[in-house]
Amino acid sequence: MFYREAGQYKASYQSDQAIFPIAQDRIAMLALLVVAFVGVPLLASEYVYRAVLIPVVILSLAAIGLNVLMGYCGQVSLGSGAFMGIGAYAAYNLAIRLPFLNPFVCVLLGGFVSAAVGIAFGVPSLRIKGFYLACATLAAQFFADWAFLRIKWITNDTPSGSVNAPPLQLMGFDLSSPTANYLVSLVFTLVLGLAAKNIVRGHVGRQWMAIRDMDIAAEIIGVRPMYAKLTAFAVSSFLIGVAGALWAFVYLGSWEPAAFDIDRSFQLMFMVIIGGLGSILGSVLGAAFIVLLPIFLNQALPPFGALFDWKISTATVSNFESMIFGALIVFFLVVEPNGLARLWSVAKEKLRLWPFPH
Amino acid sequence: MGLRRLALLGAAIVSAGIIAATTAEAQNEQFIPGLVYRTGAYAPNGIPFADGVADYIAMLNARDGGINGVKITFEECETGYATDRGVECYERLKGKGPTGASYFSPLSTGITFALTEKAPGDKIPLITMGYGRADSRDGAVFEWNFPLLGTYWTAANVAIQHIAKEMGGFDKLKGKKIALLYHDSPYGKEPIAALEVMAKKYGFDFLPIPVPAPGSEQKSQWLQIRQQKPDYVLLWGWGVMNSAAVTEAGNVNYPRDHMIGVWWSGAEPDVIPAGEKAAGYKALMLQHPAGKFAVYADLEKFVIGPGKSLAKPDEIGSVLYNRGLINSMLGTESIRTAMAKFGNKPMTGEQVRWGIEHLDLTAERIKQLGFEGMIGPIKVSCADHEGTRLSRVHQWDGKKWNIISDWYTADDAVIEPLVKETAGKYATEKKITPRDCSKES
């Protein structure tokens, strides 16, 4: 009933290759964009911006980056926190040392620096796979942790090691309000997410997926493994680096190296696994889920406990979060390995037929 | 109008009435948020402090009905010592209560750095008692930060004074080696600037040794200490790093009585896990010792006795529990000071800031509050957000802490120039015009 596709003809190859081939999807996406750009600024409170929307938007970008590497190219990576940190510190150094550059230009350039470092740490992937590659990327994570702490030049020789973002402005407009922060992050995520979606639909993305599915067969039919794997690392690290720079500049404002430690890498990995490997929509759903779950538990568990006369302390809520995350990872890997994105596409398949049974 | 519509309308009116009634009632409340960590690697130290903070406020509500008749609402938020969770908790709690949050005490130097950027815009003061940025004692630049009772540069100076006393004078420091075993985070790095200045002044070798967070693995650092043989080791750790350091010191047989911890490395959770190895370990005090003082009479009567305390029995009277009590006392007394000027109603963040900046606790008032023997008089002013320069040293004998020194006063001749320099740098970087303290009222 919703997806009455009868009468929707594609008259050109271009319309056939559209990201949203069904007209109802295009209308829904347009409505979503209107809500995101117009509705949210009218309705959201500062807390919703700072605690929900901005983290979800920025971490979606990071999750898209990690999905490109893990989901589309099949290379396990536990170093995504490090790449976020590299993007953040590169952007910070550019902003401090070249003050004439706009902070957002520094964010993009930070992404390029992160891409370069990503290629360097992606070289081991040409020789090793799976868990061994996970170890190599873990080494990247710890190396970055060490570098941020010990190489004083990176933190501009501050005695405390804690650095501040430059004030956010664009052509004279001050962009430090919560609404402006949200809109800036949204624009970055949408543009770069669209670029990522088109890359994975193109020939480079098909090479990645060939490497993921059966890399020896891919090599035989002419996919160059070095090109494919290193471009995957480059694109992934670029997206994650831009997300890291945005996280530091827009969300945190002032950060220390511990903001990009191994826990951040795990968080991104959980987003990608729960959201769905190999799916851009899955990255966004996973990011929203991981950001919202602790807040939801924090708000919902104490009143729930009060129903049974059980005073739940903040420590218990925090421990519940860890337990529920672990249980969910196991649940998703067993029941629905393709994550929330698969649940959505199953729902959409059914919606295309509903109310008819077949 | 149908019956259903009538029922819905009636329900709407009734619920509007209830909401109006509850909000009207909620108008006379002062909201104090608590950023705590009861989980994670730093929980052993975070829990007793958080319990102290909560229990003092509970006692005020039960005994006095709040502050000057305004009831205090208190809510905790778990940060796990992580900066991003601290920022999220701050955003969630800053607007609660009829006048917003009174003040924030994040108990984490990392979170303090992040909130120092946000709090001035939201007009909420930060009480960073005994931690935070050492240069934030300059109130002309850091209008909203209050490192009451002590900063890390005060601590570093007092530690060196005690070492000099044990060695027989400042001239005996020349040529000696003093190591700083520090938590590799903004917290641990804070004293380095002051110690470098003092090393140049008194002629001792300063050896900084970092320990990566969370600090439970220290074997290579203590191997380095065994090779270098410093005369004294200053410990600047937190959470599990403290007990690991004391244990490792025992393992390499470094004399524990030549170890001096900062006041965040001098509590029961830091020494009890190390067992016998901890005997002889010394630490600075944030003025107060362990033990029960006059305020405990009311605490026992109103909170601990009725079973409303969050603390376990062995926590009560411990160093960090006392510190939590003092934190809440300073915060609530600041609110009282503000109410004396602005009236007996819920105070906004700006008014509380005024109250903290004009906090003046004399020895008599401290005795009235029941904190005699715990802290000395404290007078905060625009130029001095620390309020006092006192500290002393206690030593663990295996069973309890014993005070082994008189009061030391930190040497402002050493610290003041450093504060001016770093605060000035911060002001130029952030384009802040320092306030003129002579004109402030």
Lowest mean pLDDT among A43-52, B379-388, B389-398: A43-52
pLDDT at res. A169: 87
A102 touches chain B (CB under 8 A): no
pLDDT at res. B386: 93
Q: Locate the chain B residue with the closest alpha carbon to A46.
A: B91
Separation CA B90–CA B104 (nearest Å): 8
B38 touches chain A (CB under 8 A): yes
Cα dihedral B251, B253, B257, B262, rounded to 10, equals: -40
CB contact under 8 A, A47 and B38: no
Label residue A322 exposed, middle or buried (CB < 10 Å: 0-12, 13-18, 19+): exposed
pLDDT at res. B19: 43
Per CB-CB distance under 8 Å, the chain B contacts of A319 are 39
A160 touches chain B (CB under 8 A): yes
pLDDT of A205 higher than 60: yes
CA atoms in the 13 A half-sphere facing the CB of B156: 30
Chain B (57-86) residues lying within 8 Å, Cβ to Cβ, of chain A: 76-78, 80, 82-84
What are the counts of helices (DSSP H) followed by strands (DSSP E) for chain A? 16, 4
CB contact under 8 A, A160 and B189: yes
Query: What are the backbone dihedrals phi and psi of residue A261, each rounded to the nearest 5 degrees, phi first?
Result: -90, -170
Per CB-CB distance under 8 Å, the chain A contacts of B213 are 258
Rg (CA), chain A: 21
CB contact under 8 A, B210 and A149: yes
Instruction: Evaluate the omega torsion of the peptide bond into residue A355 and state whether it is cis, within 30 degrees of 0.
Output: yes
pLDDT of A262 higher than 60: yes
User: Quick one: pLDDT band at residue B27, thresholds 50, 70, 90?
Assistant: confident
A130: left (phi over 0), alpha (psi -120 to 50) or beta: left
Query: What are the backbone dihedrals phi and psi of residue A57, each rounded to the nearest 5 degrees, phi first?
Result: -65, -45
Each residue of B320-356: pLDDT tens digit?
999 999 999 999 999 999 999 999 999 999 999 999 9
pLDDT at res. B202: 93
Separation CA B304–CA B296 (nearest Å): 9
The pTM (predicted TM-score) of the whole model is 0.87
Give the closest-approach CA distance of B213 to chain A in angstroms.
9
pLDDT at res. B24: 44
Helix or strand holding residue A287 (H, E)? helix A280-307
Each residue of B288-312: pLDDT tens digit?
999 999 999 999 999 999 888 888 8
pLDDT of B265 higher than 50: yes
Separation CA B348–CA A145 (nearest Å): 40
Q: Which of A318, A319, A320, A322 to mutate to test the interface with B (most CBs of B within 10 A)?
A: A318
- For B78, the closest of A251, A252, A315 (CB atoms) is A315
Separation CA A166–CA B143 (nearest Å): 20
Helix (H), strand (E), coil (C) string for chain B: CCHHHHHHHHHHHHHHHHHHHHHHHHHHEEEEEEEECCCCCCHHHHHHHHHHHHHHHHHHHHHHCCECCEEEEEEEEECCCCHHHHHHHHHHHCCCCCCCECCECCCCHHHHHHHHHHHHHHCCCEECCCCCCHHHHECCCCCCEECCCCCHHHHHHHHHHHHHHHHCCHHHHCCCEEEEEEECCHHHHCCHHHHHHHHHHHCCEEEEEEECCCCCCCHHHHHHHHHHCCCEEEEECCCHHHHHHHHHHHHCCCCHHHEEECHHHCCHHHHHHHHHHHCCCEEEECCCCCCCCCHHHHHHHHHHCCCCCCCCCCCCCCHHHHHHHHHHHHHHHHHHHHHHHHCCCCCCHHHHHHHHHCCEECHHHHHHHCCCCCCCCEECCCCECCCCCEEEEEEECCCCEEECCCCEECCHHHHHHHHHHHHHHHHHHHCCCCCCCCCCC
Other beta carbons within 10 Å of A292: 14
Give the closest-approach CA distance of A164 to chain B in angstroms.
8
pLDDT at res. B318: 92
User: Quick one: pLDDT band at residue B441, thresholds 50, 70, 90?
Assistant: low
DSSP summary character for residue A167: P
Q: Are B157 and B390 in contact (CB under 8 A)?
A: no
Label residue A43 exposed, middle or buried (CB < 10 Å: 0-12, 13-18, 19+): exposed
Q: Locate the chain B residue with the closest alpha carbon to A312.
A: B76
Q: Are B185 and A258 in contact (CB under 8 A)?
A: yes
Residue extents of the structural domains in chain B: 29-151+290-389+420-430, 153-289+393-410
Which CATH architecture is the domain B29-151+290-389+420-430 placed in? 3-Layer(aba) Sandwich (3.40)
B217 touches chain A (CB under 8 A): no
Q: Are B270 and B296 in contact (CB under 8 A)?
A: no
pLDDT of B22 higher than 80: no
Domain spanning A43-353 has what CATH number?
1.10.3470
pLDDT of A324 higher than 90: no
B208 touches chain A (CB under 8 A): no
- For A161, the closest of B189, B422, B430 (CB atoms) is B189
pLDDT at res. B15: 46
Separation CA B338–CA B358 (nearest Å): 8
DSSP summary character for residue A224: -
pLDDT of B20 higher than 50: no
A147 touches chain B (CB under 8 A): no
Q: Are A168 and A175 in contact (CB under 8 A)?
A: yes
Give the closest-approach CA distance of B75 to chain A in angstroms.
10
Region B170-183: mean pLDDT is 93
Region A55-68: mean pLDDT is 96
Each residue of A5-46: pLDDT tens digit?
888 888 999 888 889 888 888 999 999 999 999 999 999 888
A189 touches chain B (CB under 8 A): no
CB contact under 8 A, B38 and A314: yes
User: Quick one: pLDDT band at residue B254, thresholds 50, 70, 90?
Assistant: very high
Give the closest-approach CA distance of A25 to chain B in angstroms.
34
B128 touches chain A (CB under 8 A): no
CB contact under 8 A, B193 and A159: yes
Q: If you average pLDDT over every residue of chain A, what do you get? A: 91
Query: What are the backbone dihedrals phi and psi of residue A26, each rounded to the nearest 5 degrees, phi first?
Result: -65, -40
A118-121 long-range contacts (CB < 8 A, ≥24 apart) are: A118/A83, A118/A233, A118/A234, A118/A236, A118/A237, A118/A238, A118/A240, A118/A241, A119/A230, A119/A233, A119/A234, A119/A237, A121/A79, A121/A233
SS3 A173: strand
CB contact under 8 A, A253 and B118: yes
CB contact under 8 A, B92 and A159: no
pLDDT at res. A6: 82
pLDDT of A288 higher than 60: yes
CB contact under 8 A, B114 and A254: yes
CB contact under 8 A, B186 and A317: no
Q: Which of A256, A291, A293, A319 to mutate to test the interface with B (most CBs of B within 10 A)?
A: A256
Chain B (366-425) residues lying within 8 Å, Cβ to Cβ, of chain A: 422
pLDDT at res. A316: 84
Label residue A168 exposed, middle or buried (CB < 10 Å: 0-12, 13-18, 19+): buried
A132 touches chain B (CB under 8 A): no
SS3 A235: helix
pLDDT at res. B8: 58
Q: Which of B47, B87, B196 to mutate to test the interface with A (most CBs of A within 10 A)?
A: B87
CB contact under 8 A, B38 and A313: yes
pLDDT at res. A329: 79
CB contact under 8 A, A254 and B113: yes
Each residue of B57-89: pLDDT tens digit?
999 999 999 999 999 999 999 998 888 889 889
pLDDT of B243 higher than 50: yes
Per CB-CB distance under 8 Å, the chain A contacts of B83 are 252, 255-256, 258-259
- For B113, the closest of A51, A162, A315 (CB atoms) is A162
SS3 A15: helix
pLDDT at res. B340: 94
pLDDT at res. B13: 60
Region B243-260: mean pLDDT is 94
Question: Looking at per-residue confidence, does A157 or A154 come out higher?
Answer: A154
Q: Are B396 and B281 in contact (CB under 8 A)?
A: yes
pLDDT at res. B3: 67
pLDDT of B115 higher than 60: yes
A253 touches chain B (CB under 8 A): yes
User: Quick one: pLDDT band at residue B26, thresholds 50, 70, 90?
Assistant: low
Side chain identity at residue B234, one-letter code: L
CB contact under 8 A, A252 and B83: yes
Query: What are the backbone dihedrals phi and psi of residue B394, each rounded to the nearest 5 degrees, phi first?
Result: -125, 165
Q: If you average pLDDT over every residue of chain B, what do you get? A: 89
Q: How far apart are the first and last CA of chain B?
A: 63
Name the CATH topology of B153-289+393-410: Rossmann fold (3.40.50)
Side chain identity at residue A150, one-letter code: R
Give the closest-approach CA distance of A168 to chain B in angstroms.
13
Query: What are the backbone dihedrals phi and psi of residue B297, each rounded to the nearest 5 degrees, phi first?
Result: -60, -50
Query: What are the backbone dihedrals phi and psi of residue B213, each rounded to the nearest 5 degrees, phi first?
Result: -60, 150
Q: Which residues pair with B205 in a beta bridge?
A: B177
Q: Are B263 and B131 in contact (CB under 8 A)?
A: no
Region B161-174: mean pLDDT is 92
Helix or strand holding residue A1 (H, E)? none
pLDDT of B400 higher than 50: yes
Q: Which of B39, B109, B217 to mutate to test the interface with A (most CBs of A within 10 A)?
A: B39
pLDDT at res. B17: 46
pLDDT of A314 higher than 90: no
Rg (CA), chain B: 23
Each residue of B195-234: pLDDT tens digit?
999 999 999 999 999 998 888 899 999 999 999 999 999 9
Residue extents of the structural domains in chain A: 43-353
Q: Which two tokens stand for residue A23?
A: 């007209």
pLDDT at res. B9: 65
Per CB-CB distance under 8 Å, the chain B contacts of A292 are none
Each residue of A131-145: pLDDT tens digit?
899 999 999 999 999
Chain A (48-67) residues lying within 8 Å, Cβ to Cβ, of chain B: 50-51
